[in-house]
C-alpha cells in the first residue's frame, strides 16, 4: 500500500483485521461525483460535468466492485462515452499492474506500470491501498472517485441527457428498500465471502460463513419475480450478480465458503443466468481473469495452481 505517497513493500492481499481476526475492508477516499452540469454531488467537490470521452474507468475483471461499475456502464449504454483500462488479473508486489496479460491493457494516459502511480498522481501524499475501480478525469487530471457504490449511482443519472435510457438502477420509489437491502447483502455476502476467505481465526471464519449462507438462503426464498425487486432490474441486482457469478468458481473453493454452491440454489441459479443474458452483461464477465486472479492470491494458495473447473460455469459462459 501507499504511505504518504510512497509504496511500502509490506503489502499483503489480506487487508486489515480486527482483534478477533475479522477482515476489515478499507474505506474509499476519492468521493467526487460526475453530474450533468458539474454541480457538486452528495460528497466531494463539483467541477466534474458529464462529457463524452472525458473520464476513464480503471478496472480489474477479477474484482467484483470494479465489475459492478462495468455492468452499470454497459447496461446504461455508456461504453462509447467512458473508455476503460483493465489491469492484469494477478496482484504484484506493487499491487495492480498494467499490460501483458491477455485481455489486460497498458495505461494509455501516463504509461504507468502500476495502479498506485495513478493514486500518487492524484494525491502525492496518498495513504492507503491503490484499489480499483477508479474513475479518472482526463481533462483535469485528477481522480474523481474510487468507490463503486458511488460510481453506480452517478452512471445511473449523470449521462442521461447524452445517452437517454429507460433503465433506472436506483429508482426513487425503491430508494428506501434498495438502501435497506444493499448493506445487508454487502456485509453478509459481497464482503462476507472475503471475510470468510481472509479470516485469521476460526471464530471469524465461522461467523462469516454463517452470514454468507444465511443471506443466500434468504435471497433464494425472496426471489419470486425476475429480479430482487420483482420485474425491475436495479443496482442491487448488479451488486448481487457480481458475487454469484464468482461463487462456484472462486469463493466456494478458495475462500472456503463451501457449504453449498450457487448451483444448488435453483432460483439463484436461474436468476444469475437471467442477469448474465441481459444485453451487455456477458462481456463484463471474464472468467479467465477471475480464476487466474483469485487463485494467484499467495496467502490463500501458495502454489498458485488454478483448478480446472467447475464445468457448469464454463458451460454457462460458453452457451
Ligand atoms: N470500496 C471499494 C473497494 C474496492 C476494492 O477493495 N478493490 C480491490 C480489488 S477487488 C482492490 O483494488 N484492492 C487492491 C489492494 O488491496 O491493494 C469499492 O467498492 O469501490
> pLDDT tens for residues 267-291?
999 999 999 999 999 999 999 999 9
189 within domain boundaries = yes
Write out pLDDT tens, residues 82-123. 999 999 999 999 999 999 999 999 999 999 999 999 999 999
Per-residue pLDDT at 11: 59
How confident is the model over 251-265, as a mean pLDDT? 98
Residue 116 CB partners (closer than 8 Å, separation 6+) = 2, 7, 94, 95, 96, 130
Per-residue pLDDT at 23: 80
Ligand 1 pocket, residue 182 CB under 6 Å = no
CATH of the domain at 221: 1.20.1050.10
Cβ–Cβ under 8 Å, residues 51 and 255: no
CA of 30 to the centre of ligand 1 (A): 13
What is the distance between the alpha carbons of residues 156 and 258, in angstroms, rounded to a whole number? Answer: 35
* Residue 8's pLDDT band (cuts 50, 70, 90): confident
- If you ran DSSP here, which 8-state letter would residue 5 be given? T
78 within domain boundaries = no
Cβ–Cβ under 8 Å, residues 39 and 46: yes
Q: Is 186 in the active site?
A: no
Which residue owns the Cα nearest ligand 1 atom 13? 131
Ligand 1 pocket, residue 148 CB under 6 Å = yes
121 within domain boundaries = no
The pTM assigned to this predicted structure is 0.95
Per-residue pLDDT at 9: 73
Locate all alpha helices (DSSP H) within 124-234, ordered by sequence: 148-157, 175-185, 192-197, 202-222
What is the distance between the alpha carbons of residues 255 and 294, in angstroms, rounded to a whole number? Answer: 9
Q: What percent of the chain has pLDDT above 70?
A: 98
Using DSSP's 3-state secondary structure scheme, residue 95 falls into strand
In total, how many domains does the chain have?
A: 1
Q: Is the pLDDT of residue 318 over 70?
A: yes
263 within domain boundaries = yes
Cross-strand partners of 17: 23
User: Could you tell me the three cell numbers for 5?
Assistant: 505517497
How wide is the angle at C-alpha 190 spanned by C-alphas 282 and 132, nearest 5°?
A: 70
Q: Is 194 in the active site?
A: yes
Q: Is the pLDDT of residue 28 over 90?
A: no
298 within domain boundaries = yes
Per-residue pLDDT at 16: 67
183 within domain boundaries = yes
Segment among 7-21, 169-183, 222-236 with least mean pLDDT: 7-21
Q: Is the pLDDT of residue 13 over 70?
A: no
Which residue owns the Cα nearest ligand 1 atom 2? 147
Q: Which of 63, 143, 186, 190 to mutate to test the pocket of ligand 1 (most atoms within 8 A of CB)?
A: 63
37 within domain boundaries = no
What is the distance between the alpha carbons of residues 236 and 60, in angstroms, rounded to a whole number? Answer: 20
* Residue 197's pLDDT band (cuts 50, 70, 90): very high
- Domain that residue 198 falls in: 172-318
237 within domain boundaries = yes
Amino acid at each position: 500500500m501507499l504511505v504518504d505517497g510512497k509504496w511500502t513493500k509490506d503489502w499483503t492481499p489480506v487487508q486489515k483485521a480486527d482483534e478477533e481476526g475479522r477482515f476489515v475492508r478499507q474505506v474509499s477516499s476519492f468521493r467526487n461525483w460526475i453530474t450533468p452540469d458539474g454541480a457538486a454531488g452528495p460528497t466531494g467537490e463539483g467541477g466534474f460535468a458529464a462529457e463524452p470521452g472525458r473520464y476513464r474507468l480503471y478496472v480489474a475483471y477479477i474484482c467484483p466492485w470494479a465489475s459492478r461499475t462495468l455492468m452499470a456502464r454497459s447496461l446504461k449504454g455508456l461504453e462509447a462515452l467512458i473508455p476503460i483500462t483493465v489491469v492484469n488479473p494477478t496482484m504484484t508486489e506493487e499491487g495492480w499492474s498494467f499490460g501483458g496479460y491477455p485481455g489486460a491493457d497498458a495505461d494509455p494516459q501516463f504509461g504507468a506500470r502500476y495502479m498506485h502511480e495513478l493514486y500518487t498522481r492524484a494525491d502525492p501524499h496518498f495513504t492507503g491501498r491503490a484499489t480499483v475501480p477508479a474513475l479518472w478525469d482526463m481533462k483535469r487530471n485528477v481522480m474523481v472517485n474510487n468507490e463503486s457504490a458511488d460510481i453506480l449511482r452517478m452512471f445511473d443519472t449523470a449521462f442521461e441527457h447524452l445517452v437517454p435510457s429507460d433503465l433506472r438502477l436506483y429508482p426513487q420509489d425503491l430508494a428506501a428498500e434498495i438502501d435497506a437491502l444493499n448493506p445487508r447483502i454487502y456485509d453478509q455476502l459481497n464482503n462476507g465471502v472475503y471475510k470468510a476467505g481472509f479470516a485469521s481465526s476460526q471464530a471469524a471464519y465461522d461467523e462469516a460463513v454463517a452470514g454468507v449462507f444465511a443471506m443466500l438462503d434468504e435471497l433464494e426464498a425472496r426471489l419470486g419475480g425476475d429480479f430482487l425487486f420483482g420485474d425491475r432490474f436495479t443496482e442491487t441486482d448488479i451488486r448481487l450478480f457480481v458475487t454469484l457469478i464468482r461463487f462456484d468458481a472462486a469463493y466456494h473453493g478458495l475462500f472456503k465458503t463451501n457449504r453449498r454452491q450457487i448451483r444448488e440454489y435453483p432460483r439463484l441459479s436461474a436468476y444469475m443466468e437471467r442477469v448474465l443474458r441481459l444485453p451487455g452483461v456477458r462481456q463484463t464477465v471474464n472468467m479467465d481473469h477471475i480464476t487466474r486472479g483469485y487463485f494467484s492470491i499467495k496467502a490463500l494458495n501458495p502454489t498458485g495452481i488454478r483448478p480446472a473447473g467447475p464445468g457448469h460455469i464454463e458451460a454457462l459462459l460458453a452457451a
